[in-house]
Amino acid sequence: MLSWNEIRVRAAQFAGEWADASHEKGETQTFYNEFFEVFGKRRRDVARYEEHVKKLDNTHGFIDLFWPGVLLVEQKSAGRSLVAAAEQAGAYFDAIAERERPRYQLLCDFKTFELLDRDTREEIRFSLAELSNQVENFAFIVGLRRRALREEDPVNIEASKLRGRPHDAPDKSGCRGDDLKRFLVRTAFRRLTIARNNTVAPQHASAWAGNSAHGFLLLPQLLGSNNSRIPARREP
């Protein structure tokens, strides 16, 4: 099983690679194959695409991704309404046999995720860029309870916040596109390396994360550094 730091690094790389995705029909299946790989899970081992459903009003539909008893995904193209997606997912859920009704519902338009726990009614919403800070909410993918993931080293928790902060200062840096993607992945990999080497003391972790926006302004130097290494992308 992957460590949660490794999953965070994979999530950051995934977010960078999919930052420009937008088309539901052409990209959904590849998107979720690689999404499951973030957690070290093969999608085809647990979930299937285009699951046929006969709804209660006798019309027919297809669930974009269905993991019986666990997860229902309704995917839309970028910019499409997730309110409509929620209504569609609800109609599918009602039509599914009770023994296979999933606990979790995920709505997504490639840019935004909305995850609902139908047992607790807890719902969270976050952007693709924030995925690496939200991986613990998908603990069910690796067969764990979410609460178990909160027992992490405070250093790792504080350091994981580093990822999202550069997005707060893009206008100041002038960095866009591929440069931004490369910076996010390198930052995540650097955080993992430091955490493993235990070179950041807990009392300094917050200050280190807090300086990330300043580091963002140094992107030309960071991107040109020969000391920055991007972890190899794992092939499916």
User: Is the pLDDT score of 189 beyond 50?
Assistant: yes
Which tokens hold the place of 85? 């997606």
What are the Cα distances from residue 84, in Å, to 80, 89, 103, 109, 113? 8, 9, 20, 12, 14
Q: Quick: pLDDT tens for 97-138.
A: 999 999 999 999 999 999 999 999 999 999 999 999 999 999
So what's the pLDDT on residue 79?
A: 84
So what's the pLDDT on residue 217?
A: 45
The neighbour count for residue 101, using CB atoms within 10 Å, is: 16
The structural domains of the chain, with segments of one domain joined by +, span 4-149, 153-224
Strongest mean pLDDT among 59-73, 172-186, 215-229: 59-73
Q: Mean pLDDT over all residues of the chain? A: 78
Tell me which DSSP letter residue 200 carries.
Answer: S
So what's the pLDDT on residue 194?
A: 53
- DSSP states of 56-117 as a string? TTS-EEEEEEEETTTEEEEE--TT--HHHHHHHHHHHHHHS-GGG--SEEEEE-SSEEEEEE
- pTM summary value: 0.64
Q: What is the mean pLDDT of residues 21-46?
A: 93
